[in-house]
Structure 1
Amino acid sequence: MMKIHEILEYLPHRYPFLLVDRVTEVEKGKTIKGYKNVSFNEPFFQGHFPGNPIMPGVLIIEAMAQLSGILGFITVDRKPADGVVQYLAGSSKVRFKRPVLPGDQLCMESEFVSGKQGIWKFNCRALVDGDVVCVAEIMTAEREV
């Protein structure tokens, strides 16, 4: 399990764009699981949508990409402190099944599919209370900074 201080070693993101609160399981080169607690105080709820707040789908994809980036770093034994970052390089086969609301815990899973020359591919899904809210194929790219 990784708590926030260790997550911060693997992700360059900070408030308000850090979208992984905890990593609950990780198997190097295979899978990672983690979650984001979705609070009513999230800044995006002010405009998405007033009176009917839902988490933007692009942020669900970003959260899964951040979790996948952690798995990518762990797989190659690197961290941003080594002068590299994992960028979201693409997403495909994205499907949203239901909205994510304030108070939900967005549980995410990412499975390593392939990697070549710093481009990584993952199968991801996000769940709330055991129900799938989003599935996607995510690609990240490792780049020097």
Structure 2
Amino acid sequence: MKAEQILGLLPHRYPFLLIDRVIELTDDKVVALKNVTFNEPHFQGHFPGVPVMPGVLQIEAMAQAGGILASRAIQFDPTTHVMLFMAIDKVKFRKAVTPGDQLRIEVVPLRKGKIFKMSGEITVDGNVVSSAEFLAGLAEKSKVQ
């Protein structure tokens, strides 16, 4: 799945779109890639001279991949509905992510339905850098305040 298709499924746009490409998508798994570049705005202040991708953005990348996965399980119009975080659990950061890394983001469903429970793991060069479980639910954009 290329950028145009991703943009059709996710409401996120630069600089907050954290999925560059989807390389595998089934009902039971999504694998996406994110190329981390020095030009990303968060590196200006996190941290000067020692650029590290914030962990919350890694979790967000997992959630965005999870949104793509959820779009296979339930049909919704991304112009009127959005998948929102509801909870994050069992978060672990094992290694710093720095410019030049390519994130391999794998998310699998633990429970499907109105509320999805998913498990995500990010690797760089085959090494786990972060992992988490999270809940996400579908909401009408007009009711999100």
TM-score by length of 1: 0.94
Of 106, 112, 115, the match for 1:115: 112
Per the TM alignment, residue 105 of structure 1 is displaced from its structure 2 partner at its CA by: 0.3
Structure 1 pair 79–24 and aligned structure 2 pair: CA distance change class (3 A): farther
What are the within-5 Å matches in structure 2 for residues 60-139 of structure 1?
60-81=58-79, 83-116=80-113, 118-139=114-135
Letter in 1 for 2:4: H
Letter in 2 for 1:89: M
CA contact (8 A) 2:73 2:112 kept: no
> 1-side partners of 2:117 and 2:109: how far apart?
6
Letter in 2 for 1:133: V
Per the TM alignment, residue 56 of structure 1 is displaced from its structure 2 partner at its CA by: 0.1
Gaps of 5+ in 1: none
Deviation digits for residues 61-117 of structure 1, max 9, x if unmatched?
000000001111121133403x1100121110000010000000011000011023x
Q: Which residue of structure 1 aligns with residue 17 of structure 2? A: 18
SS at match of 1:66: helix
Q: Equivalent pairs: percent with the same residue?
A: 48
The alignment yields a C-alpha RMSD, in angstroms, of 0.9
Letter in 1 for 2:74: V
SS at match of 2:112: strand
Of 25, 28, 31, the match for 1:33: 31
TM-score by length of 2: 0.94
CA contact (8 A) 1:9 1:79 kept: no
> 2-side partners of 1:131 and 1:77: how far apart?
34
Given the alignment of the two structures, is residue 47 of structure 1 paired with residue 45 of structure 2, yes or no? yes
CA contact (8 A) 1:73 1:79 kept: no
Structure 1 pair 123–50 and aligned structure 2 pair: CA distance change class (3 A): same
Q: Which residue of structure 2 aligns with residue 8 of structure 1? A: 7
Deviation digits for residues 16-41 of structure 1, max 9, x if unmatched?
1000000000112x110001100000
